[in-house]
Structure 1
Amino acid sequence: MAKLEITLHEKDGDVTYKQNHITGQKFLDFWELQEKIEKGNLTNVEIITLRVEFIAGLFPNDKLTAEQVLRGLDPWELNNTIQRLDSVILGNEESDEKKEP
């Protein structure tokens, strides 16, 4: 199983995007984004936009854009998806590969 997966609802059905390698740079980018958010000068819309742009940038597929992520997730899926992917980046959620002895 890929370390990162996101399934989007697209015209022709659900499509799952996968990323097997998360770089140290993406880890650093995550923390830079968190610091920017924590400064408190951003609106909720700006925070969601930045987080979705970050999520889209985690996947190598050029077709996966922030707009596509927003269109492909139901509103109630968005926050849970962001939190789940954040947990994987931080190493808090193990992939199936890590769980196996």
Structure 2
Amino acid sequence: MTKLRLELKKKNGDVVVYEQDKVPASRVLDFWNIQEKLEAGDTSYTPKNYLLDRIDYCASLFSAKSVTREAILEGLNAWELEETIDDIILTAVGVKKEVDPKLMELVQQKPESVS
């Protein structure tokens, strides 16, 4: 079953894992509203605004109230931010799905030799 997953590091070094297994399909439209703002060509909508909107969108997908823009910005390393946000968005809109471990096991098994 596909789930959203977010790991944030607290200031004391503890890692908190948030998972969300239900996201209403209507939330896909919310993401496309962000994309439309970007594609509208308004020069006042900067790359920074786009990033912050994507972070806010990701935070809003989790039912835990402690998942906020600030929590994400403080809880991720700089080099993890874009990839983490993209993974959450792609999973939420149905583009990226978890691979079933049982299926992976079958795929990785060597076929029996045919004589």
Same-fold call, TM cutoff 0.5: yes
Alpha-carbon distance between aligned partners in 2 of 1:3 and 1:49, rounded to the nearest angstrom: 22
List 4+ stretches of structure 1 deviating above 2 A: none
Structure 1 unaligned blocks of 5 or more: none
Q: Would you tell me which structure has more helix in proportion to its own residues?
A: 1
RMSD across aligned positions (CA): 1.7
Give the number of aligned pairs: 99
Structure 2 counterpart SS, 1:24: coil
| Equivalent position of 2:34 in the other structure | 33
The equivalent of 1:20 in structure 2 is: 21
Structure 2 counterpart of 1:45, one-letter code: K
List per-residue Cα deviations over 1:42-79 (Å, max 9, x = no partner): 11211111111111000001111111111111111010
Q: Quick one: which amino acid aligns to residue 11 of structure 1?
A: K
Provide TM-score, normalisation by structure 1: 0.87
Distance 1:40 1:17 in 2: 35
Q: Higher Cα Rg: structure 1 or 2?
A: 2
Q: CA deviation at 1:27?
A: 1.0
> Identity of aligned pairs, percent?
33
Runs of 5+ unmatched residues, structure 2: 104-115
